[in-house]
Amino acid sequence: MPVLDKPLSELNTYLGSSPCPGDIDAYWDNGLSELRRVEPAVSLTESEFSAPFAECSNLYFTGIGGSRIYAKYIKPLQVSSPHPALLFFHGYTGASPQWMMLLPWAAAGFSVFAMDCRGQGGKSEDTGTVSGTTYKGHIIRGLDDSAEKLLFRSVFLDTVQLARIAMEMPEVDPKRIGAYGGSQGGGLTIACAALEPRINRAVAEFPFLSDYKRVWDMDLCKRAYEELAYFFRSFDPLHAREDEIFNRLGYIDIQNIAGRIKAKILMGISLADDVCPPSTQFAVYNKIKSIKQNKIYPDFGHEMLPGFADETFTFMMNMNTETV
């Protein structure tokens, strides 16, 4: 097995090395209260893409700060209602998948909601109503302001707003909502399930946005986490504010809110991952208190995990056989 991180015996009990702010529950409870005061103002328009067995729509809603957020919405036709739904979250700097990539879920009887993260590669607005991409820097956006200005606070709350919209669709069973994503999408899946306890099932593949101090200590602030190195080099070269910075990042560290999850969880963990190190993935998994399982890939990094998509499909389909 490749040696990148701690031995598996230690990973199985690792609980993270990054600080957790003492008021984190109040921080997110206040955020959720703020979100409840935001009128989502949902709008739906027909997509240019069509499929014979599904209705494809462009969905826009309003998130924190007034930003208009975009999601692909696919409603299966000739499927009894209410039926289950899947929320899909994409990787860092990217966008929601092409329609064709989402159709298998609709064919299986799921409504599908695939969100574009604000300011990344899709159609959602960034904070400040900027259309289009700001590409990267989202982890460090707001570090020199109050913790309420952290950009990922808004993104996490966008996932909750989308979940609530899905739950209110007349064709959707609000008790059978799943969330799914890899990398940043895995991190947002964890955040969504933590902040919206009605999520039934969640699948997170090598989740991003976890245990920032551990990433720093492993000298892996490269690629996905490179902006942390940029921030210190540019704005705190002597690390005079290191404790303050990592404490503030603790508000948007998914391991610190994983204990709030009520959903059933499936995680795919890659032990040779030098983008989202294994210890940061286990820090999340080990703090989840709900029913959970993981699939560990010893020889794989931040890449497609063989068989995991099939595991995900079966895991989500089992929502249809359980009593809710």
Domain CATH for 197: 3.40.50.1820
* CA dist list (Å): 96 to 90, 116, 215: 6, 5, 26
The separation between the first and the last C-alpha atoms of the chain, rounded to the nearest angstrom, is 41
Q: Is the residue at 278 inside a domain?
A: yes
pLDDT digits (tens, 9 = 90+) for 248-284: 999 999 999 999 999 999 999 999 999 999 999 999 9
Q: Is the residue at 104 inside a domain?
A: yes
Q: Residue 232 is which amino acid?
A: F
Give the structural domain span for 85. Answer: 8-317
Q: Is the residue at 230 inside a domain?
A: yes
Residue 321 confidence (pLDDT)? 76
List, by residue number, the catalytic residues.
183, 273, 302
* CA dist list (Å): 177 to 100, 171, 270, 324: 21, 12, 26, 11
Whether 253 contacts 281, CB under 8 Å = no
Q: Is the residue at 127 inside a domain?
A: yes
Q: Is the residue at 155 inside a domain?
A: yes
| Average pLDDT value over all residues in the chain | 94
Helices vs. strands in the chain: H and E counts, helices first: 10, 9
Residue 306 three-state SS: coil
Residue 80 confidence (pLDDT)? 87
Q: Is the residue at 323 inside a domain?
A: no
Residue 131 confidence (pLDDT)? 54
Phi, psi of 76 (to 5 degrees): -70, 145
pLDDT digits (tens, 9 = 90+) for 132-178: 556 678 999 988 888 999 999 999 999 999 999 999 999 999 999 99
pLDDT tier at 130, thresholds 50, 70, 90: low
Helix axes 24-36, 151-168, angle to 10 degrees: 50
Q: Is the residue at 2 inside a domain?
A: no
- Tell me the two tokens of residue 59: 């969905």
Residues 6+ apart with CB under 8 A from 120: 90, 92, 93, 94, 95, 133, 134, 135, 138
pLDDT digits (tens, 9 = 90+) for 206-219: 999 999 999 999 99
Q: What percent of the chain has pLDDT over 70?
A: 96
Q: Is the residue at 1 inside a domain?
A: no
Q: Domain tally for the chain? A: 1
